[in-house]
Amino acid sequence: MNCNLRFTHKKNNLKFSSGYTLIEILVALTVVGIIFSFGFVNFREFSRRQEVISVARSLKGDLRLAQEQALAGKKPDGLECGGVNTLSGYRFNVKSPVNYVIEAECGGGISQTKDVTLPSDLSLSSPSPNPIIFKILGQGTNIPAASESVITLTQVGTNNSTTITVTSGGEIK
């Protein structure tokens, strides 16, 4: 038995392209660009909010530093507080919207212990009273009884801001 099978292959006249058209590429790039721009704007806003939060934490830390130094009655080194000069407290003093200092108030004068300059896009309001004085050995502050002193930290050009409150008893909120 002789079996001859014959297969015939007929080519279709279809053309297959191995690339993308210019319109498909432009549409894909536009979609990627839109997604990237939304992501960048959101990240930038998040980064700005984080800057305000970070500086506010640092500011609270510096207020607590002044408070702790006063509670401990720790005199800094220097002529103003050395020898028989007595320590009366630590001051948180806002010098300008972008600068504040921590100072020890002693019988011989004022001894600066820390000087802080804020980033250029942040602004600090002066509390009332300015400076806030944390008195030694838990005697409170110079803020009138039953009142509070408010410090506002604001980011220039945005609506990002936060407030820090110090009570007459020395509580920092």
28-44: per-residue pLDDT in tens?
999 999 998 888 888 88
pLDDT digits (tens, 9 = 90+) for 49-86: 999 999 999 999 999 999 999 999 888 887 788 788 88
Domain count, the chain: 1
**What residues make up the domain containing 43?**
22-167
Checking if the pLDDT of 7 tops 60, the result is no
Answer whether 0.85 is exceeded by the pTM: no
Q: Cα–Cα distance between 158 and 173 in angstroms, integer? A: 23
Two structure tokens written together for 96:
């300008």
**AA identity, residue 59:** L
- For residue 93, the SS3 value is strand
Whether 90 is covered by a domain: the verdict is yes
Whether 1 is covered by a domain: the verdict is no
Whether 52 is covered by a domain: the verdict is yes
Looking at every residue in the chain, the average pLDDT score rounds to 87
Checking if the pLDDT of 8 tops 60, the result is no
